[in-house]
Amino acid sequence: MKTIDELLAEGVSGKRVFVRADLNVPLDGGTITDDGRIRAVLPTVKALVDAGAKVVVASHLGRPKGAPDPAFSLAPAASRLGELLDGPVAFASDTVGESAEATVAGLADGQVAVLENLRFNAGETSKDDAERGAFADELAALADVYVGDGFGAVHRKHASVYDLPARLPHYAGYLIATEVGVLKKLTEDVQRPYVVALGGAKVSDKLAVIDQLLGKADRLLIGGGMAYTFLKAKGYEIGISLLQEDQVPAVKEYIERAEKSGVELVLPVDVLVSTEFPDLKAKAPTHPTTVAADAVPADQMGLDIGPQTGTLYASKLADAATVFWNGPMGVFEHPDYAEGTRAVAQALVDSKGFSVVGGGDSAAAVRTLGFDENAFGHISTGGGASLEYLEGKTLPGLAALED
């Protein structure tokens, strides 16, 4: 795929450059709680601004139902982008309507505009090729060149990700080029030992990547809500912990495969439990207790890996040459259940190997827990996209950028 450096070498002064970014930031009301994804697209936007392009930034936010919804407006993201660029950023109150047309037409060289949430138009996410294509045609009328830099959306066959690049000269932005380069380090000529730490709520979200990693990783560390399905598959008592009962047979098979293939599959040895899920807004103390992983009381639920498991996982990460971490070890948003995730994050910081934090909640945890982002080899902006790449799937947004 062609890169933005090739585009800049060709010259973009005066050209309208459509940048498909990922500004899908978490909001508390109208307040952005984590601006990491906005900061991730800054190198691409700044380079285009400095080269005199008229930059049209577009993104989705949340999952509106194909119609305008003020709760999912990109206005806060546009405002924050302006703060980070230290300059004005125009905002169009629609995607391809009168406001978008007027806003883009009013751009001078080196200026930036942000369009309203792409998913306010049903054509963005439609499964009908013609409907998606019609929306892509309207978006294409706003630009001369396309730059794909929304890595968090490249696994989606959406109009702005998949169909639009076919209608314009297209290039990969700095973020996508970086993300793909990192993922190749996890799939091609991997430096060993290669250790993968997987957490998060649902084991079903990770089964496909576990299937692939059983033939590639040296160790798999399992935490988060998904760990309890593994513990159940081992015959352990897990109380009222999160469980995907229908996935137990598949998990049993993977445990057997890991043993046969020589992959070290490491499960929690102790967990923090409570009788109820914590209030993440009030964050009042819940006084959890620590129990052995095979002895969760019948009326309690596991909410974090325990201190012995944190120490165990840190030891399993210590000698890693390559580490991929996706998914928190517990309910890190509450201080009572953050230490397991903190232990894994600290182990990555301490490791001399190449460490990749695989987006989503893992990236949010790193920031929430106060870690220096520069202490990690790479923090991905796309958890789902990273996982699908590691699964070996073809990602529509990357395929669309190929020449």
- Which residues line the annotated binding site for substrate? 22-24, 37, 60-63, 119, 156
**Binding positions:** 22-24, 37, 60-63, 119, 156, 206, 302, 333, 359-362
**Binding positions for ATP:** 206, 302, 333, 359-362
Question: And the tokens for 243?
Answer: 């469980």
Instruction: Report d(CA 323, CA 349) in Å as an integer.
Output: 11
Q: What's the one-letter identity of residue 376?
A: F
Q: What's the one-letter identity of residue 233?
A: A
**Binding positions for (2R)-3-phosphoglycerate:** 37, 119, 156
Instruction: Report d(CA 20, CA 82) in Å as an integer.
Output: 17
Instruction: Report d(CA 263, CA 213) in Å as an integer.
Output: 9
Sign of CA dihedral 251, 337, 27, 347: negative
Question: Which helix (H) or strand (E) covers residue 186, if one does?
Answer: helix 174-187
DSSP secondary structure letters along 351-372: -SSEEEE-SHHHHHHHHHTT--
Question: And the tokens for 263?
Answer: 């992959």
Query: 327, 362 in Cβ contact below 8 A?
Result: yes
Rama region for 119: left / alpha / beta (φ>0; ψ in -120 to 50; rest): alpha
Instruction: Report d(CA 100, CA 139) in Å as an integer.
Output: 10
Phi then psi dihedrals of residue 43, to 5 deg: -55, -40
Instruction: Report d(CA 17, CA 10) in Å as an integer.
Output: 13
Give the residue numbers annotated as catalytic, written as ranges. 37, 202, 360, 384
